[in-house]
Structure 1
Amino acid sequence: MHIRTEKAERHTLSVLVDNEAGILARIAGLFSARGYNIESLTVADVTEDEKISRITIVTSGPRGVIDQIISQLDRLIPVHKVTDLTELGAHVERELALVKVRGTGDHRIEALRLAEVYRARVLDATTSSFVFEVTGGSEKIDKFLELMREVGLIEVARTGVAAIARGRDAA
């Protein structure tokens, strides 16, 4: 017997919804009820009248699972449009992280050097620590955190992925 296993793929989904109470809980419930994992989730209103919100979800799974997620999201009543930005092609993704790091002695110099390499801004500095702001792709932030762990990482807060299709047309 040969068991076929599909490779899990990372996908970024853009979901336009009515900006109403409970919609985020319904979407999270859809994922949890089926055992799908949400790797990143961000929500913000995107219209001047604040009636429509964009939910950006990063998830992973085999192609069939991703198609099922999109289909189930599309069927929710307050959902206007689901776009798989990964399938669409060229898109821009960014994330922001606030990173608190110990900063004394040689570790202080190394933390500042690494921050400069990763274009992280110092938002707060004391005699014993720094808070850096770093933006970019998730991989860049993951690597920055990995290096800061060696220097003295204390705490991290991440926004989650914000993404938008490239080009002049809306996704």
Structure 2
Amino acid sequence: MKHTLSVLVEDESGVLTRIAGLFARRGFNIDSLAVGPAEQPGISRITMGVPGDERTIEQLTKQLYKLVNILKVQDITSVPCVERELMLLKVNTTSTSRSEILEIVKIFRARVVDLAEQSLTIEITGNPGKMAAIETILSKFGIAEIARTGKIALVRESPETIKKELISNLM
């Protein structure tokens, strides 16, 4: 099972290297990684996608807490949260396929960020399922390149927010 870990760290050089080293020494892989400043100056949030069972994730969490500069580790896999990724797709296009691709872009609420004679570069944000869906649909045209960020996520705070998100996903 793939888990999502949210880790708050002190913003110091070498923190990410120590975390990656910990995973490498234990033979664990990081499927997805996103790092950026958190709400407080001097603190960064690292969001990681990590494969493993509950026991493995518990062990990794304990090991992470032993590292210097780790402030908080949270497995948010089963917690209601907002998740987003950013993906840029360069899709091969012809004059006949261009309009069909533009319709797909519109349906997925993506946007064209570069236009060339033989390709379109599309920017899309959303949850990982949305990324996989548009990639699958556009693959029939030929995908020349993909650049994708790691997943970022924040835990939801109110039940009302959860209801609104469910409603907006149904529309």
Please, what TM-score do these two structures have when normalized by structure 2?
A: 0.87
Letter in 2 for 1:33: R
Asked if 2 retains the 8 angstrom alpha-carbon contact of 1:120 and 1:133, the reply is yes
**Structure-1 residue corresponding to 2:66:** 75
For these two proteins, the number of residue pairs brought into alignment is 158
Asked whether 1:54 is paired with 2:54, we answer no
C-alpha separation in 1, matches of 2:38 and 2:62? 23
Asked if 2 retains the 8 angstrom alpha-carbon contact of 1:107 and 1:152, the reply is no
Match of 2:155 among 165, 168, 171: 165
C-alpha separation in 2, matches of 1:158 and 1:100? 12
Letter in 1 for 2:32: S
**Structure-2 residue corresponding to 1:125:** 115
Over 4 Å off, 4+ runs: none
Q: Percent identity?
A: 43
Match of 1:31 among 23, 38, 44: 23
Asked if 2 retains the 8 angstrom alpha-carbon contact of 1:44 and 1:54, the reply is yes
C-alpha separation in 2, matches of 1:121 and 1:22? 36
Offset from partner CA, 1:83-104 (integer Å, 9 cap, x none): 11114x1111100001111121
Match of 2:33 among 26, 31, 41: 41
Asked if 2 retains the 8 angstrom alpha-carbon contact of 1:102 and 1:152, the reply is yes
Q: How many angstroms does 1:12 deviate by? A: 0.8
Question: Which structure 2 residue ranges, 5 or more long, are not aligned?
Answer: 159-171
C-alpha separation in 1, matches of 2:55 and 2:71? 22
Aligned residue for 1:148, secondary structure, equals: helix
Question: Which structure 1 residue ranges, 5 or more long, are not aligned?
Answer: 1-8
Asked whether 1:143 is paired with 2:149, we answer no
